[in-house]
Amino acid sequence: MGSYRSVFQPGLFAGNVVIVTGGGSGIGRCTAHELAALGAAVAIVGRKAEKLDAVRAEIEAAGGVCSTHVCDIREEDAVRATVTHVLAHHGRIDGLVNNAGGQFPSPLAAISAKGWDAVVRNNLTGGFLMARECVTQWMGDAARGAIVNIIADIWGGMPGMGHSGAARAGMLNFTETAALEWAPIRVNAVAPGWIASSGMDQYPPAMRDTIRGMKKLVPLQRLGTESEVSAAIVFLLSPAASFISGACLRVDGAAPNAKRIWPEVGTGGSTEPFDGFHLATTPKVLQG
C-alpha cells in the first residue's frame, strides 16, 4: 500500500489532534493522510459517512489514528455538537483545517438567491462556525492552536463563479480579523489555484475543455497536486510557522500574475510536481 512521503519531520504532530473538514475526498483527504502520517490524530468531518469511513480505513491501514464525524457545517447546532464530539473522543483540539466547500459554475445574472446563499453558507459561514466553536470550546481556554482556512484563487475576481469568489474573499478577510481577535491562536489561509484533484470531476461535461486547458494559463505550465497544497497547510500548522498569522499562502503556479501585457505565459518551462500522496489518482477529466 505504501505510505505518505511527506517532506516534514516524522512525528512532527505527535500528540496533536487536528480537525479536517471536507476530509472525505480531494485536498482534505490528502491533508488528513499527511497529518496522520506525521503523528496527528485526525478528526475528519463531512456530510457523507461512507466517504469518511473509506478515508478512515485508509489512514488506519497505514498505521494512523482517525475518527469520523458526519456534519453539515452550514448548520450551527450541528457544528457545535460535532466539535463537542471531537473533544469527547480526543480530549483536545490543536488544529483546524477549514477545507470543506463547494460551488457550481454560473454567470452572476443566473444565480438565484437560494443558490447564492447555499454557496456562501458552504464556503464562508460554515468555516466561521467551525473556527468559532474550536476557539470557544477549546483553543481559547488553552490559549494555543492553529487554524488554516482554505480559500481559492480569488484575485481579479472569479467570473463564472462569483458566489464562490465573494465567499472566499470573505473568508480571507475573516482570517485577517480572527488572527487579531484570537491571538495567540494563529489563523492563516491557503489559496489553491488549479489543482488536479477529484473535485474537478464534479463539474458538468461542458467544462471539460476549460479544465483541460487551464495549465496553458499558468506561468509554470501545469496544474498543482493535492500534496503541494497539503504541504502548505501542514507548514502553517507546524511550529515552524509560529510567527505567521493573518497571512495567505498562494499555491497557484503564479496564475494570478499572468497579465495581458505579457503574453509569454509559460514560455520559460515548468517545475517538477511534488506528489507525496501514495493514494493520489488523476482526475477522470484529465485522463486520456
pLDDT digits (tens, 9 = 90+) for 239-277: 999 999 999 999 999 999 998 888 888 777 899 999 999
Q: What pLDDT is attached to residue 203?
A: 79
Half-sphere exposure for 72 (CA within 13 Å, toward CB): 7
259 or 142, greater pLDDT: 142
Residue 70 in grid coordinates: 458526519
Residue 181 in grid coordinates: 481577535
Q: What pLDDT is attached to residue 140?
A: 96
Determine the average pLDDT of the residues in 212-241.
95
Alpha helices, DSSP H only, in 151-264?
A: 162-181, 208-213, 226-237
Q: CA-CA distances (angstroms) from residue 266 to 157, 158, 254, 273?
A: 22, 22, 10, 15
Determine the average pLDDT of the residues in 49-65.
97
Determine the average pLDDT of the residues in 29-36.
98
Gap between the Cα atoms of 167 and 30, Å rounded = 23
Gap between the Cα atoms of 150 and 249, Å rounded = 10
34, 276 contact by CB (below 8 A): yes
Q: What is the DSSP-derived secondary structure letter of residue 195?
A: B
- pLDDT of 160 > 80? The answer is yes
217, 193 contact by CB (below 8 A): no
Q: CA-CA distances (angstroms) from residue 37 to 34, 104, 288?
A: 5, 33, 32
- Its pTM stands at 0.95
> With pLDDT > 90 as the criterion, what percentage of the chain qualifies?
84
Gap between the Cα atoms of 45 and 98, Å rounded = 10
Domain 17-286 class in CATH: alpha beta
Q: What pLDDT is attached to residue 1?
A: 57
Determine the average pLDDT of the residues in 28-51.
98
- pLDDT of 57 > 80? The answer is yes
- pLDDT of 150 > 90? The answer is yes
